Chain A
C-alpha cells in the first residue's frame, strides 16, 4: 500500500499576504479567506501543485526526528479547510 500523498493548489490559485506574524490566504477556487500562521504558508508553497508524502515533506523541511503526529494533524486541518487534497 502506498503512503498517503498530499497536494496543495497551484500558486496561481492562492493569494497570500503577510500580515505581521500571520498570513492571509485567499483561495480563488472557493472564495474563502483563511488566516494562518507558520508553518502553513511554507507547507502550501512546498506542496503547490505537486504530490508529496509525509516523508517527502519531512525531508524537504529537514524535520529530522520531526513530530510526525503534529504534522499529520496540520495536514488533516488543511484538508478540512479545503487547502490541500490527499490521495
Chain B
C-alpha cells in the first residue's frame, strides 16, 4: 500500500492502507489525537481501486481486509473515510475474539458504565454523543467490548458516526468538537464523524463496570419500562456480531451481564429528558 495509517483505539490496533493519498490524509486528520501504532495490527483494512486504472479514472474505493463482503458496491473516492470506517467495523465485527461485541454505545462515570443498545436509528449514537456535555465519558459507539474474563466493558472510542439531522443537533451543542469531513450523498444520506472528547481518548485504556443497560428510543414522550433478563438476553444476542463464535465464553459473559445490570427501555423526546431519566436510574 502506498499510503498507510496505524492507529490504536482502546485495546485494538488497526492498519489502514490505501492506494490513494486522499483518504489517508483525511484519516490522519480525523485520528490526529489517537495514539499511533505501527506494530503488527490486530486488523488491517485496505482501500483499493476496483481495477488498476480506476485509481485515476472515476476512482471508486473497494474495501479489503481479512474479511470482505462479496459484491459490496464501491464508494466514491471522496467517501474514502466512510469506506475505511466500514472496513474497520467489518474486521472487528467478524474477527474480534477477545471481547464479546455488542452493537451499542457506552458512557461512564465514576468507574460505572451505562450500555445503550437498540436498533439502528433509535438515536443511541446521538444520545451518547450529547451525554458527553452532561458529565459522562463516552466509552464507545457502534461496538461495546465486553470482556468475558472480567465482566468489564472496555473503551473503544471510535469517532461517532452521525447521520443527517443528528449532525447539526450535535454540532450545535458540542462547539469546538473535532469532526471528520462531511460526506453527503452516502448510501445512508449525509454522514459526519465526531471525535469523542479529550477525556474519552485519555481514558481509552480504562475499563468500567457495567451497571445499567438502556434501550433508548428517540422521538417519543418520556416513558420507561423495565426489561426482563430473558428479553434483554435475546436482544443482545441479536445485537452481537460474534456471540456465536465465542461459544460458551459468550454465553457466560452475556448471561452474567444481563443478570448484573439494571435493564430499562426509555422513550425520550430530547437529550435533556433522557439525561434526567438516566440520572434517576443511575
Contacts and interface: CB of A to CB of B under 8 A. Distances in A.
A-B interaction = yes
Interface of A: 15, 17, 19-22, 24, 26, 28, 31, 33, 35
A15 B248 contact: yes
Given A17-B255, A33-B237, A22 B248 contact: no
A47 B198 CA distance: 57
B276 interface: no
Interface of B: 228-230, 232-234, 237, 243-244, 247-248, 251-252, 255, 258-259
Interface centre among B228, B244, B255 (most CB of A within 10 A): B255
A35 B230 contact: yes
Contact of B255 (A19, A28, A31): A19
22 contacts: A15-B251, A15-B252, A17-B251, A19-B228, A19-B230, A19-B232, A19-B259, A20-B228, A20-B230, A22-B228, A22-B229, A22-B230, A22-B233, A24-B251, A24-B255, A26-B248, A26-B251, A26-B252, A28-B248, A31-B248, A33-B237, A33-B243
For B248, B251, B252, B258, the residue with the greatest tally of chain A CB atoms inside 10 Å of its CB is B251
Contacts, number: 40
B230 A31 contact: no
Report whether over half of chain B's contact residues are helix, strand or loop; otherwise say mixed: helix
Given A33-B237, A35-B234, A19 B244 contact: no
Nearest to A17: B255
Given A17-B255, A17-B259, A19-B258, A31 B244 contact: yes
A82 to B, nearest CB: 16
Nearest to B237: A33
Given A31-B247, A33-B237, A20 B252 contact: no
B197 to A, nearest CB: 35
- A-B pairs with lowest CB-CB distance, top 10: A22-B230, A19-B229, A17-B255, A26-B251, A19-B230, A20-B229, A20-B228, A31-B247, A19-B233, A24-B255
Given A22-B230, A26-B252, 16 more contacts: A15-B248, A15-B252, A19-B228, A19-B230, A19-B233, A20-B228, A20-B229, A22-B233, A24-B230, A24-B251, A24-B255, A31-B244, A31-B247, A31-B248, A35-B233, A35-B234
Contacts of B230: 19-22, 24, 35
A24 B244 CA distance: 14
Contacts of A20: 228-230
A33 B243 CA distance: 10
A17 B258 CA distance: 11
A21 B228 CA distance: 8
Contacts of A22: 228-230, 233
B112 to A, nearest CB: 22
Contacts of A15: 248, 251-252
Contacts of A19: 228-230, 232-233, 255, 258-259
A23 to B, nearest CB: 8
A7 to B, nearest CB: 22
A30 B258 CA distance: 23
B226 to A, nearest CB: 10
B234 to A, nearest CB: 6
Contacts of B233: 19, 22, 24, 35
A26 B234 CA distance: 13
